Amino acid sequence: MSDQFLSQDELDALLKGLGEEKESETFRGGGSLTDIEKDMIGEVGNISMGAASTALSTILGREVKITTPVVEEIKHEEVNKEFSGEKVVVIIEFVEGLKGLNVLVLQKDVVSKIADIMMGGTGEGAGEEIDEIKLSAVSEAMNQMMGAAATAMSDFFKTRVDLTPPKVEVMNFDDPNVSFPSMETDPSTPTVKVSFDLNIEGLPSSKFIQIMSSKFVKQMYDMFMKLRKEEEKEEEKPQPPAQPQPTASASAQAVPLTPSQQPVKAEPAQFQPLSPEQPQQAAVSPDKLALLFDVPLTITVELGRTRMTLKQILELSVGSLIELDKLTGEPVDILVNGKLIARGEVVVIDENFGVRITEIVSPKERFYAVQ
């Protein structure tokens, strides 16, 4: 072949170099997202929002699903035009592993329903109004959701990813004075918009948006490529050849059993059963017991208990009545350092309340109380 033409090996090397150069180009704000960057954002979004949906499902006691994200690119100066009316904006600042801002934009009515369910309601007639109590409840939900998402990202990238507690606020994008939280110094810099579908059991489906800066995407991409190269290196490592295992007959012929290795008759061990009915009593000398006489203990008389939802607690006021699980005339519990030891009846001594012990709890019942 003439020297003016490249050989096949040289062509392969050239094409490989061009491919690696194209793959190494990352979203630095000057160009469009590559396919590999979109796939990376989608994969990380699936993992992080999957963990967040599990956390929200635990909080609400309902099934929560967040669908596969849709990734697109917009200019930072045009983010405001993507939204209209009042929205709930969640500002998330990553401070370790990844650094930068992420912003979530959610429908106001959906957030109101989530808060209503957290406070003991059904979420169906919650309306769109969000007061300070609902905003506080949603802030706690977002804190747990984003904490779960950060943990999932830490596991994925194999490095610690941490963030500050999210800031939740209501923004009216119809107000010309309202501007989206700044994540880019140059307004014309491209920004990543990721759209999710949020499905909560018993509520209509809704959308929420995640906005990420180009610098944040660059950090994720670098970590993603580093992780992928490490995995490729692990796969390329030669595996040691498997050593053939000797057969049982060969082993038996090669190494004869010594007398100490001859089969012996084995019997199951016998143990004395331990049960609450027969507690083991350890003998303690009076001198040793006297060392504990000066130890202070807290004695509590429990009148009764009840369970209430967060909504019921917030509705309490002066004069409210709380119904306990004790009946009138039923003995009250006497606890020492939180452990039940006796029961008694409430009496009045001069102008103070007291309790007359009517029953000492049996060792069996005390055994179960310690569990």
SS (H, E, C) 115-177: HHHHCCCCCCCCCCCCCHHHHHHHHHHHHHHHHHHHHHHHHHHCCCCEECCCEEEEEECCCCC
Query: Residue 100: which H helix or E strand, with range?
Result: strand 100-107
Q: What are 157-205's pLDDT values in tens digits?
A: 989 999 999 999 999 999 988 888 877 667 777 889 999 999 999 888 9
351/332 Cα distance (integer angstroms): 20
111/139 Cα distance (integer angstroms): 10
Q: What are the backbone dihedrals phi and psi of residue 233, each rounded to the nearest 5 degrees, phi first?
A: -65, -40
102/180 Cα distance (integer angstroms): 12
pLDDT of the residue at 264: 57
311/303 Cα distance (integer angstroms): 24
| Whether pLDDT at 105 is above 90 | yes
Provide the whole-model pTM.
0.57
| Whether pLDDT at 354 is above 50 | yes
322/161 Cα distance (integer angstroms): 44
226/120 Cα distance (integer angstroms): 46
pLDDT band of 121, cuts 50, 70, 90: confident
Report residue 189 as tokens.
Answer: 């810099």
Q: What are the backbone dihedrals phi and psi of residue 278, each rounded to the nearest 5 degrees, phi first?
A: -125, 70
Crossing angle between the packed helical segments 132-157 and 35-60, to the nearest 10 degrees = 130
Q: What are 122-152's pLDDT values in tens digits?
A: 887 777 788 888 888 889 999 999 999 999 9
Q: Where in the chain is the domain with CATH 3.40.1550.10?
A: 21-232
Q: Where in the chain is the domain with CATH 2.30.330.10?
A: 293-371
Residue bearing the bigger pLDDT, 20 or 295: 295
| Whether pLDDT at 276 is above 70 | no
Q: What is the CATH number of domain 293-371?
A: 2.30.330.10
Report the chain's mean pLDDT, rounded to a whole number.
80
Report residue 5 as tokens.
Answer: 């033409």
CATH superfamily of 21-232: CheC-like (3.40.1550.10)
| Whether pLDDT at 75 is above 60 | yes
pLDDT band of 19, cuts 50, 70, 90: very low
Q: What's the one-letter identity of residue 92?
A: I
Q: What are the beta bridge partners of residue 343?
A: 333, 359
